[in-house]
Chain A
Amino acid sequence: MVPLSYYLILAAILFVIGVAGFLFKRNIVTIFMSVELMLNAVNLTFVSLSYSLRQLDGQIFVFFVMVVAAAEATIGLAIIITVFRNRESLNVDRIDLMKL
């Protein structure tokens, strides 16, 4: 049996990939995909911990995370469309109307 820590490390690496994508990418849609990767890492952590502790609570939490992720995606993509309508670009470097 693969030990729990392998699952946790896998989730941690996926989370870091998500963070890296969020920080490095310039395209807003891919930046948002990176957030989804991070949320999936969290879900994986929850489910593996839930399995090892034999507590269902972790799985319930994952269910709510998924609901929230869906709601977030809806709103986020609607915002992205609005920004695109106003600016005709989805490059974060051009989202710069307000600077110090």
Chain B
Amino acid sequence: MQTSDLIRILPEIILAVAGIVVMLLGAFQKQNAGRMHPAIALLGLLGAAGAIAYQYPWRSLDPAFGGMLELDAFSAFFHILFFLVAALVVLSSSEYVAQERLASGEYHALLLFATMGMGLMASSNDLIMIFIGLEISSLASYILVGFRRGVATSSESSLKYFLLGSFATAFLLYGIALMFGATGATNLTEIHLALQAEQNTVTAMASPQLTPLVGPVPTALVGLSIALLFVGFAFKVSAVPFQIWTPDVYQGAPTPVTAFLSTGSKAAAFAVFLRVFMVALEGSAQDWVWLLWVSGLLSMVLGNLAALLQTNIKRMLAYSSIAHAGYILVAFTAHSEEGVAAVMFYLAAYALMNIGAFAVVSHFGNRGERYVEMEHYAGLGYRAPLLAASMTVFLLSLIGIPLTGGFFGKFYIFRAALHADLVWLTVLGVLNSAIAAYYYLRVIVFMYMHPAAEQIPVERVRPAMGFVLIFSMAATFLLGIFPQAVLDFASQAAALLLENLGNGVL
């Protein structure tokens, strides 16, 4: 281990330290500790972002810790996205935490640890690190989902998330085990090389006196392993047919946590999904592309159709998040540089608009999340014009109306799909976004065209929440009007991710 290795994981170290400080604060300062926690968390996130920026340009050709970590532009992009998401969630949950009397120290500490796990996921280049990063973020999320302990729905969704999550983890692990058996490696680059050379990478490491068991890669085992890995990752990104947990978990979780899961965790899962499939398994793309094709189409169709039927707005957004996973899988199916860039751009745009939408839901929900049904939103446009206007912007962006980030996100996705000759998938995807417009517009119609049935109190928007709303709105418009900067970053990262493969250098 060298100093350069430590600098590579400096962002994660900073987050872990911030998390521990948040936890310890409660032991020394009984009063006012609740106000300090968000500040420390934000400081930690800022520091971690600084540590990422310090390593610019992200073009490490000497991976840290013997190939375990790779801080390339791809992981830098996702790190910045995670920190942004976490910071927005911290800001938007300050009201919520006070209102529901949640344990503030533990809440923020777990958020920071989950973010750290996601960061590790984005930069891991070894299945062992991917697994541990995934587990850190998952375990923290299981708890965050059940954070309203006294509320039955919250602990129920935590239980469902936990049971199905560990079920999926077992599948993922089985896939990793078989991949190890086929190639003799857990490092993604080594797996790639082994699959390319069709020769396992066994070396005489453990006992030099023995001849290593070099042999051909059994393709059947690779196929099975890919299927199992796909199950594990598809669960994490909530793609059909492994989406069953999503609506229940998103509905029962505290709203800011739902925002975190649907943006941060999903992006992290896609980062790993992309890295494993595009780096390690690129050579056997013909084995997995059809899986993505089918799963992407089903996710779009089922997600959108089920969302049409919902009356609970959190549940509707949950189904819509399944549909959005489907759109992202469309770009993934293209398995090209352009496709990877489109996935990254879409994840960024989706994160910003979705966090904004959930911030509105969280604020309007009031104590105990009482007002989360569609009819509660009736007449909101007249009682709280600004809140309703920001919600409208986020929903329009989720539809993909021009001038918003969602439009360019979808545009790049379908362009990448067309360039990869996925005409049918593109057509069906575009049709699906038309269906999706219906249920998003329904909320807008409720807000502006229905009279309020009952008098629902709307609390004053506090500065932190106001900042989140304005920031997400501004960012959504910015991505919709000047998408080039973010897209260039994503394209460069994607190019770098795939270029290294060609030369076999990593």
Contact = CB atoms under 8 A, between A and B. Distances in A.
B139 interface: yes
Contacts of B167: 22, 35, 38
Contact of A35 (B128, B143, B150, B166): B166
A61 B143 contact: no
B159 A28 contact: yes
B157 interface: yes
Given A82-B158, A98-B157, A53 B184 contact: yes
A19 to B, nearest CB: 8
Interface in B92-143: 127-128, 131-132, 135, 139, 142-143
A28 B174 CA distance: 23
A76 B142 CA distance: 9
A69 B46 CA distance: 33
B447 to A, nearest CB: 24
Given A79-B155, A98-B153, A38 B170 contact: yes
A28 B152 CA distance: 16
Nearest to A67: B132
B152 A86 contact: yes
B158 A79 contact: yes
B206 interface: yes
B180 A35 contact: no
Contacts of A100: 247, 306, 309
B128 A60 contact: yes
Given A54-B202, A54-B206, A39 B152 contact: no
Contact of B163 (A8, A32, A64, A71): A32
Given A31-B163, A45-B181, A79-B162, A53 B156 contact: no
Interface in A65-99: 65, 68, 71-72, 75-76, 79-80, 82-83, 85-87, 95, 97-98
B160 interface: yes
Contact of A55 (B128, B155, B206, B306): B206
Interface residues of B, number: 52
Contact of B177 (A42, A55, A97): A42
Given A71-B139, A86-B155, A61 B176 contact: yes
B163 A28 contact: yes
Interface string B235-269: 00000000000011001100000000000000000
A82 B149 contact: yes
Contact of B173 (A65, A83, A86, A97): A65
B170 A56 contact: no
Contacts of B127: 61
A68 B135 contact: yes
B477 to A, nearest CB: 35
A52 B174 CA distance: 17
A41 B174 contact: yes
Q: Taking chain B's interface residues, is the majority helix, strand, or loop, or is none over half, making it mixed?
A: helix
A64 to B, nearest CB: 6
A68 B252 contact: no
B146 interface: yes
Q: Taking chain A's interface residues, is the majority helix, strand, or loop, or is none over half, making it mixed?
A: helix
By CB atoms of chain B within 10 A, which of A28, A79, A82, A97 has the most?
Answer: A79
B319 to A, nearest CB: 10
A61 B170 contact: no
B89 interface: no
B295 interface: no
A64 B163 CA distance: 20
B166 to A, nearest CB: 5
Contact of B150 (A57, A75, A80, A86): A86
B210 A54 contact: yes
Nearest to B315: A98
B181 A53 contact: yes
Given A53-B181, A75-B143, A83 B132 contact: no
B139 A75 contact: yes
Contacts of A87: 152, 156
B69 to A, nearest CB: 16
Interface string B466-501: 000000000000000000000000000000000000
Contacts of B157: 98
B170 A18 contact: yes
B185 interface: yes
B202 A53 contact: yes
A75 B113 CA distance: 15
B210 to A, nearest CB: 6
5 contacts: A31-B163, A53-B184, A57-B180, A64-B132, A98-B252
Interface of A: 8, 15, 18, 22, 28, 31-32, 35, 38-39, 41-42, 45-46, 49-50, 52-58, 60-61, 64-65, 68, 71-72, 75-76, 79-80, 82-83, 85-87, 95, 97-98, 100
Lowest 9 CB-CB distances: which A-B pairs, in order? Answer: A49-B181, A38-B170, A56-B206, A86-B152, A45-B177, A42-B173, A82-B155, A98-B248, A83-B155
